[in-house]
Amino acid sequence: MQSKKLGWLLLSPTLFILGLFGIFPFIYVVWVSFHEWNPFAANPEKLFNWAENYRKVVFDAQFLASLGVTLAFVFFAVVSEVVIGYLLAQAFMKNFPGKSFFRTIHTLPLIMAPIIVGSIWKLMTTPSIGIIPNLLDTWFGIDLNIGQSALAAFSITVIMDIWHWTPLVTLSLIAALVSLPSDPFEQAQIDGANKRQVFWHITLPMIRPALIATVFIRLMDAMRTVDEVLMLTGGGPGSATRYVGVHIYKEVFPRTNYGYGSAISVIVLYLSIVICWLLYVSLIAPRNKKG
């Protein structure tokens, strides 16, 4: 009994911070989502409008378009980060000259604030001064202008996200690979298994929990990306990079539509949870049942 009280006492600061900065804001956003509220209007009172904001979201063509673009962005970014992150993790598991230096350089993007990342890529992709358009024009004759080409803007935002967050995936998978026991790999080598067989039947099943957890983190982060894209493209050209995070930002701040923006936030959170649940059910739950 005494140890249980001590455990709750030690957990209390964490639970307090979680409640103050996590649970309470969520409840407040849900409450605001059922109101029509413009705090800068002549009458700034919250007017309860039942589920009208949610009805508007379902029939909002601009939101549905931004959701489609966001899902495409999440798919290409997260899949690329997982593949590249795993390959880099395997590379860093080996010894080679300058390994410590390259690992340090590789993790530098993680310490940069998203708004700084967006500013850096804005400078690098500006046609008149950016190194990327100049190199593409010199080497391949490609005229890159993310202010005019929707495909170029979308592709650059995906590449920027990969550059920024692949180190997180790499570090997570390095931790998973380091913790693997050596016995199964030695037995597979004795049995004559090739690298592909070792990966599919030993490595992947053993790192699956860490891999799925990393995918969940990146998926939820990518679904709400705002800062980098606002700095780089502002959501344009047109609506090519108007991801749901950018859409919410523009509804809440320029248009001061707090109730409607809150409803979109709740729906996006729900969709993120559903996608993660589907991934869990399809990839983790069947394995647990077999075990």
Look at residue 40 and tell me whether its pLDDT is greater than 90: no
Look at residue 48 and tell me whether its pLDDT is greater than 90: no
- CA of 88: how far to CAs of 49, 63, 137, 198, in Å? 51, 36, 29, 18
pLDDT at residue 284, as a whole number: 66
Look at residue 127 and tell me whether its pLDDT is greater than 90: no
In a domain, 20, yes or no: no
In a domain, 30, yes or no: no
In a domain, 164, yes or no: yes
- CA of 235: how far to CAs of 146, 150, 245, in Å? 11, 10, 10
If one counts the domains in the chain, the total is 1
In a domain, 28, yes or no: no
- pTM of the full predicted structure? 0.90
**Which range is most confident: 41-45, 140-144, 190-194, 214-218?**
214-218
Count of alpha carbons within 13 angstroms of residue 66, beta-carbon side:
29
In a domain, 48, yes or no: no
Look at residue 275 and tell me whether its pLDDT is greater than 60: yes
In a domain, 29, yes or no: no
In a domain, 263, yes or no: yes
In a domain, 55, yes or no: no
Digit-coded pLDDT (tens) for 80-115: 999 999 999 999 988 888 888 888 898 999 999 999
Digit-coded pLDDT (tens) for 186-215: 888 887 888 888 888 888 889 988 899 999
Specify the higher pLDDT residue, 103 or 284.
103
pLDDT at residue 193, as a whole number: 81
Q: Percentage of the chain with pLDDT > 90?
A: 49
Residue range(s) defining the domain that contains residue 214: 61-290
- For residue 185, give the CATH number of its domain: 1.10.3720.10
